[in-house]
Structure 1
């Protein structure tokens, strides 16, 4: 599509407010009467009448057309005038506002040479002087961003979230602009929050993105679609040409409908797991060492880049499973550290580099990116290197958002930063997919919940941390950030997106974070306190004093809580925020005060009431669930005789130990009783904690139990999970995973972070009966950095995941159950009792 259009077409395309030559004389009368000069000041409107004219290029790009339209519309709206005019030549007697790019020498010459030279990427320069106002873009996108920069900085416009209630436009009948010159460059080249849902088929979301300095997604189908609206509305705004990618390897090998036929003809194309080729979709990666598999995937990548319009960005990623093929050829050359298939960086990036080499050899245009995901977040080992032109799109699952990114006392972020620096040491450019929006709030179904009666939403007080993080990312020369944002109007390629309240309301419930993210992606040097005050005072109006106290209170609770990263259960986050005595009442009181202060301002009152509702349907709701589901402490019996695990639980002392039952499953945000129950008992002595656990299941003999050595593949078996936190154990807890064969995988974890394998010396014996599995476990307390004594309180959760299907990596799992409402970070108190039994 030719984005340049002739001026005649431009008049027909956007005639509103445009002055043709014959109109100039009539317009001059009004302008000459109103635009009296003031010293070092330009008058754009007086008493609600426009005194300015926007001067457009004679052959504008579509993005420049949008710039002219938006500038005229918002100047008129601020002034309360019916129209602002546009022309292709200066209007005598008016304050002329010139739009154009740096290649228009007559405009660039109006700026200091250093200003023009300083422009980069989508940057822009602004100048107001005796000869008018100049909005100069380093490229056509910069012209539009410059218009929005001018409207924000000089007129006071704000777009907090999509839709009419998110806009702030001051009423300014008299608009005066003092002389100035400044420029602005984006801090990040890649500013694409929203994934593939921020295109113009979600039009209000698209407008919000661009007005706040972000970019739109433009997949190649958009260039040939018959939907003129989607195509035009995207092309007339800054956008990134996408050539596809993502979870794609199996789909590039063959169409999903053809998998069974291909498997019969060529099982060697499919990944091997536990000695068998696996048909199941997304269970194992394809066999990447197979030449025909490589050829099919390569041709698929090449086709996306060669499709009209040629080029764009293709991001290659694996199927959404961590399991890679285990065949002998795929295992050749793999370093010992990756032999167990838990780390897969060398396998994956060796394959990526082969794709890149072939693309380069055949001179295929475009940018190849690769995911950093699952077991391949780290750089490859040994001599394998990724071409520096390949950008790593890093999924930041291990990033702790509670603590500062550079906090040396946060092991999560120390580890996270070490991975980034390892990539950068190899000269690789990175961009991040921040996955804060993967955190479910108010409903465990999160974005996949399709219950129209569900009111769960996402509401996180993390914008101050977001600002700090983006400044550090900028200093580290990170290329940019993306993040999932639901579209405001919930349409996706003309279809209704999953219509739950979390999705429909995310642009409003998470506006603090989204708006901050956009601001700092453009200008990472923004002073947060100034930004915070400007944003809050305009959004909440008279309710701001109370809402300011509320946000600061939430910041304090959030930033000083335990570690938080994607996947932390909602009740853990809620408990983190509201467990401090008095916090719950203080927050409610601040909402009450804010509503009282804003009572006479309908829009601000509406915003505050809506935010209070978001708080109640997320953090508050989950905290009530935490309190409701808390159980009485379990008093552990002290034993004088050491227990030697044999899986029988037949010692007399087990019969005297208190029993814990009522294990639960959580489904669609509701705590339910499982089909088959689990029972647990606990004992202690000076050296050990003892757990006796029975998991009832009539299919017990058929449960999967393959792994004889500790590895992450144990999670493809039926397994028992024990989460245990020592008295005075600080931030750390331990996860002990045991399958039916008694294989034990032990991790030291940090409030949900990627853990560190450890050796605790756990003793375990299992016994599989016809209708149940018995576990007898002895855990040395010294290895947990704990000690036993009467009154000592351990936090323990027990989970059970019974997998049935022995033939695939993606085993069928019955409903998992646990003592808490989720596996990680949901505990019961087990207290060392005073009673001693022989």
Structure 2
């Protein structure tokens, strides 16, 4: 069966012939002796693969560690003694059946005793290897919890006996890409990135448009292949450029198809090509591309037609030459929602679920997951194959303990139920704080019905030996604290959530658990694992102490009305932070802590910048929640006031927002327009000036002299537009139609932040958006309708 056909096949699992006892079934008598007192008593019969890891060599590598022996390997069975048949013709002849007859697919395996012999076989060499690892894990007690020797558990047996087994299995998820260490991933039956000829081959990971339309190859001769931003083709050769292509240009489609031909010629075993936009929401603004964008649609659908139209056209072109090749693209940000058309059969959608990982995806009480689950269910109708890009390590959580087993145990069965065909996760070698989650996820990807309670009990016993009890308390305490906290994790700037979770009380209890484990443990490897977890908590404690410096200053005044309003004395704050910053950096720099934290990546660098933490303490989050929170009409229902029907000759428009910039090259960041009585938009003014740069700040800007006689005021329709090609974007929090008096912009800012009711009372009309504001991004304007009931 081809890989492509396998993806279309039903995902069935062959049930073991005996019921599970505990985590895995026990072997039944009679038993055959494979090794005794350092001597081999059995023989392996196997064919050497043309490529890849030989199953016989791999089994012997582990048997050497278990019993101190390697079994002889032959092409035919000897006259006497137990035989271990590992894949190939001899194994299937011994079983008297085939992989197809057993419905194993390309990745499943059978493990079956026939008399005193054992057969482990799959449809190909990698499937047979999966069977070997399943045998080692399920029947000989071997484990590989996380990459490296410290993650390996191998029970010693002077006499190795193997009893009766009869089971077959195939994975619940055909694509399993969690652990990025090839050997550890292969043992845990992952199937991407193994450097094996039978693994699932994906060209590139994500954000690949510039990998397919290479700037070095095309920019000089074909600048029209790249996005038109503000009437000018964006330069994709600039350092760290995130430039999208012009998807409607026929030459771009030809360039992509040409590159895919080259990729397949170089590696004919390629199964899937990533055809993903770059990591920016700025798409081509040429006339043809604009027709495929919907700036007035909900945020998650604004670019869906453009991105997925291009994906379908690439898929159609590629299918002519490569009918079994899959074309993958991501559902992400402004193209998270499906388009109003079906995706082609050879398309795979990789759905990016940013959050929330503290709650089950189907939890109707979690607004983040309601949002993402709704889009997932919509995609199930629009595309035959949906995979998930997951965050079993979340970069924005900055390497702190990430206890999400309580979520994984519900999410993965739910995704299997909803026909998701694969999972790829963000990855980091932070074994102390992410290792258990990765391990549990890998197990559920093969068997989504696995008893997680039994799996965890097995983990505590085998990883921590005599310290299993206190280490169970340690891990469960973290899970319980996360679950009971109710926080939605993890936003891009999750500093306040970190602060609220890692309290002094939780830290003290976790330290007590680790101390009890340290005193109980005797096994040397288990003691090293306890020490690893202790260092992981030490990192969390250092970060928590640092964040308490902010909490003590920023929490005392209560919640902010809008994102970015928390303010403090930065000089004093930075001075107070310095000793804690030094301690965190020293910890990260120490080589022995490499797998107890996430290292010094971009998210951690931002975490260790006090100004950024202070500014982002009240986080905007990852899920757009644009909407009007309050208007003057609504406010009047609770606060009636006398109003005049006669408009003044001029009014002032106060606009309050975050990150309203001025740029030396492009000038003001925003144009402010309103609909005139003639039905055309009129320019009222601009925001962001050299003398008033709102970069990373919340400021009010005042546009004076707004002539009411020239404007349509029923309602007043205002557009705040960031013209294409300028600074990236802004959050608009509120617009107030005010008396055209001498109030300064600094006074307006102060009044909005400190005496908002006065501003509301003086306004003829206003619109206030929610905490995160209404985005005014490059080419995606913020719009507001101000209803006027009269003039104060």
What displacement does 1:322 show? 0.8
Distance in structure 2 (CA, Å) of the matches to 1:633 and 1:246: 38
**Structure 2 residues without counterparts, runs of 5 or longer:** 1-27, 559-565, 575-603, 617-634, 641-653, 675-685, 705-717, 722-730, 758-769, 781-792
Equivalent in 684, 706, 730 of residue 670 of structure 2: 706
Provide the C-alpha distance between the structure 1 equivalents of 2:415 and 2:332, rounded to a whole number of angstroms.
Answer: 19
Contact 2:294 2:301 in 1 (8 A): no
Task: State how far apart, in whole Å, the 1-side matches of 2:183 and 2:380 are.
Answer: 34
Farther off after superposition, 355-364 or 399-408: 355-364
1:312 matched to which residue of 2? 271
Aligned with residue 371 of structure 2, among 415, 427, 432: 415
The structure 2 residue matched to 1:79, chosen from 67, 91, 97, is 67
Number of aligned residue pairs:
630
DSSP 3-state at the match of 2:481: helix
Change (3 A) 1:326 1:39: closer
Counterpart Cα distance in 1 of 2:286 and 2:29: 79
Distance 1:276 1:354, change over 3 A: same
Change (3 A) 1:363 1:525: closer
Distance 1:767 1:314 in 2: 61
1:526-675 mapped onto 2 (5 Å cutoff): 526-569=450-493, 571-579=495-503, 582-598=505-521, 600-617=522-539, 619-632=540-553, 661-662=569-570, 667-672=605-610
Confirm whether residue 253 of structure 1 aligns to residue 213 of structure 2: yes
Say if 2:138 is the partner of 1:133.
Answer: no
Q: Which residue of 2 aligns with 1:191?
A: 176
2:228 equivalent in structure 1: 272
What residue in structure 1 maps to residue 436 of structure 2?
512
Distance verdict in 2 for CA 1:393–1:170, change over 3 Å:
same
Tell me the equivalent position of 1:235: 196
Q: What is the distance in 2 between the residues matched to 1:677 and 1:508?
A: 30
Aligned to 1:43, the other structure's residue is in SS state strand
Structure 1: 4+ residue segments shifted above 6 A: 339-342, 633-637, 663-666, 685-688, 690-702, 714-718, 736-746, 757-774, 779-783, 796-799
Counting only pairs closer than 5 Å after superposition, residues 797-836 of structure 1 correspond to structure 2 as none
In the TM superposition, 1:133-172 aligns within 5 A as 133-172=118-157
- 1:311-352 deviations in whole A, cap 9, x for unaligned? 531110112211111222212254574499972000111111
Return the alpha-carbon distance in structure 1 between the equivalents of residues 304 and 657 of structure 2: 38
Question: What is the CA-CA distance between 1:707 and the residue it aligns to?
Answer: 4.5
Question: Shift of the alpha carbon at 1:739?
Answer: 7.6
- Separation in 2 of the partners of 1:103 and 1:90? 9
RMSD: 4.7
Other structure's SS at 2:511 match: helix
User: Distance between the aligned counterparts of 2:702 and 2:484, measured in 1?
Assistant: 40
Counterpart residue number, 1:374 = 333
Cα shift at 1:481: 0.6
Distance in 2 separating the partners of 1:627 and 1:439: 21
> Does the 8 Å contact 2:150/2:528 carry over to 1?
no
Shift of 1:439: 2.5
Instruction: Name the TM-score, length of structure 2 as normaliser.
Output: 0.69
* Distance in 1, Cα, partners of 2:87 & 2:772: 64
Aligned to 2:581: none
1:209 aligns with 2:165: no
Aligned to 2:9: none
C-alpha change, 1:116 and 1:41, in structure 2 (3 Å) is: farther
- Closer, same or farther: CA 737–460 of 1 in aligned 2, 3 Å: farther
Out of 94, 97, 102, the residue aligned to residue 107 of structure 1 is: 94
Q: Is the Cα contact below 8 Å between 1:737 and 1:744 reproduced in 2?
A: no
- Offset at residue 78 of structure 1 (A): 1.2
Tell me if structure 2 keeps the 8 A contact 1:763–1:777: no
Tell me, which stretches of 5 or more residues in structure 1 are unaligned? 1-37, 199-204, 219-233, 443-456, 487-504, 638-657, 679-684, 723-735, 747-756, 784-795, 811-838
What is the alpha-carbon distance in structure 1 between the residues aligned to residue 396 and residue 662 of structure 2? 33
State the secondary structure of the residue aligned to 1:551.
Answer: helix
State the distance in 2 between where 1:159 and 1:462 align: 20
> Which SS does the other structure have where 2:544 is aligned?
helix
CA 1:741–1:376: 2 relative to 1, 3 Å? farther
TM-aligned CA deviation for residue 634 of structure 1: 8.8
Find the aligned partners of 2:739 and 2:206 in 1 and give their Cα distance. Answer: 43
1:394 matched to 2:394: no
> What is the aligned partner in structure 1 of residue 78 from structure 2?
91
Match in the other structure for 1:648: none
